[in-house]
Amino acid sequence: MKLKIPALIIVAIAMVLPKNSSCQVLNRVKNTVKNTATNRADEGAANATGKAIDKGVDAAAGNNGDDNNPANATASPGNTTAHSNGQPTIKSYQNYDFVPGDTVLFEDNFMEDQDGEFPSHWDLEKGQAVVNKLNGTPAFYLTEGNYVKVTPLMKTKTYLHDPFTVEFDYYPTSGSYGPLVFFSYVNADGNEDDVQVQFNTNGEVNTGYFGNDFSGSYPEKDADAFLSKWHHAAMIYKNGQIKCYVDQYRVLVVPKAGFVPLSLGFGGIGDQDNPIILKNIKVASGGNMNMLGKKFTASKIVTHGINFDIDKATIKPESMGTLNMIVQVMKDNPDVKFEIDGHTDNSGNAAHNLTLSQQRADAVKTQLVGMGVDASRLTAKGFGDTRPVSDNNTPEGKANNRRVEFVKM
């Protein structure tokens, strides 16, 4: 079933209703889409948030090759901005405050899956889905169903605990339906039910449950410009509060969620011509490290929020939440010095991993210096895959081994 959503629509209500209400939900969405005004977020706020900072490290010559092609793995520590293809740059993330959880529960970039097949680390509950490539990059296509629903294969049925974070990239098109994140919980009757949060195809985020609807707008005026490019989505659930981010913006805050999530899935209205397209899905426990404004006494900070292009030392823009947190820690503790330690999983050649980890540690140091940290307070060292903290035989184990540590000197 195909749901057409005009590109300039601002608010499309996301549905959080019992499972047997999908027909009513679809009618509700259609009616809301028809009657929604096209009012946008305040232009001044958008301009202020979107300005590039002068402190950041300028990009080296742009590399327009496929980020996922090892043949293009010419790591360059100075190249810390995104490609100039209309995507947000690292400078535009200057005020980003999302910090991922410190233990990865699940991660999948679909690199290990065969094109045209259902991915090996997922379960299909409804509809149809398949891995296909988009511009040479493997992605998860949800192609059919009202609703299509996929869930990660986990060792236990319930694995979400307060707090936790969710991240993924999505690729909206003019005829597609924005992805839903399904959260399973136990309702007041003691039965398992679903709550849904929708990331719309114009950048807005909507959610509604227990009779309350919440909606947040993406602070850019041109909804057409949002289409046909990758966007990064992030969520944190902490103390019953939900924060949702799209690209560099915090789009929606729900102070009291009213439910306790146990597990999650992804889905929506799948369509073969306009599928829901996802990649780089990560779920982690913990979130938003509570150390700002405090005396730093720990021996080190272990982070999984500083991400790089595959097999490169190019820092991804969404890393700025973690980097901003490190900068603030160093401002709050002017006597603290850190050794930046880069670590990889055991994929590929050990010698290459050692070199890559050093280049990534150097890139982090360069970026922090560009953000105002005195270079004398930082050193950088790469350890490759020599110091694993988890099992390299599982995707989540590899994800936990790919990390940047800040060791107090």
Mind giving me the DSSP string for 78-128?
A: T--S--SSSSPPSGGGTT------SEEEEEE-STTSPTTS--TTEEEEEEE
pLDDT for 138 equals 97
Q: Which of 165, 104, 105 is nearest to 304 (CA)?
A: 104
Q: Which residues contact 138 (CB under 8 A, 6 or more apart)?
A: 68, 109, 110, 111, 113, 115, 131, 132, 279
pTM (predicted TM-score): 0.78
The answer to whether 138 touches 132, Cβ cutoff 8 Å, is: yes
The answer to whether 11 touches 215, Cβ cutoff 8 Å, is: yes
The answer to whether 302 touches 199, Cβ cutoff 8 Å, is: no
pLDDT for 290 equals 60
pLDDT for 291 equals 60
pLDDT above 70 (res 395): yes
pLDDT for 204 equals 95
Q: Which of 93, 140, 136, 134 is nearest to 121 (CA)?
A: 140
pLDDT tens profile 113-127:
999 999 999 999 999
pLDDT for 211 equals 52
pLDDT tens profile 211-220:
567 899 999 8
DSSP 200-222: -TTS-EEEEETTEEEEE--S-S-
Exposed e or buried b for every residue in 92-117, given b needs 16+ CB within 10 A?
bbbbbbbbbbbbbbbbbbbeebeeee
pLDDT level of residue 85 (50, 70, 90 thresholds): low
pLDDT for 117 equals 98
Mean pLDDT of 232-252: 95
pLDDT for 88 equals 77
Phi, psi of 172 (to 5 degrees): -80, 145
Residue type (1 letter), 397: G
45/28 Cα distance (integer angstroms)? 31
Burial class (CB in 10 A: 0-12, 13-18, 19+), 39: exposed
pLDDT above 80 (res 44): no
Burial class (CB in 10 A: 0-12, 13-18, 19+), 37: exposed
CA 320 to chain centre: 12
Mean pLDDT of 2-8: 38
The percentage of the chain sitting over the pLDDT mark of 90, rounded to a whole number, equals 66
pLDDT level of residue 73 (50, 70, 90 thresholds): very low
pLDDT tens profile 337-394:
999 999 999 999 999 999 999 999 999 999 999 999 999 999 999 999 999 999 999 8
Mean pLDDT of 31-46: 34
Residue type (1 letter), 55: K
DSSP 235-278: EEEETTEEEEEETTEEEEEES---S---EEEEEEEE-SSS-EEE
pLDDT for 45 equals 32
Q: What value, to the nearest 5°, has the Cα angle with vertex 88 and ends 68 and 309?
A: 20
pLDDT above 80 (res 59): no
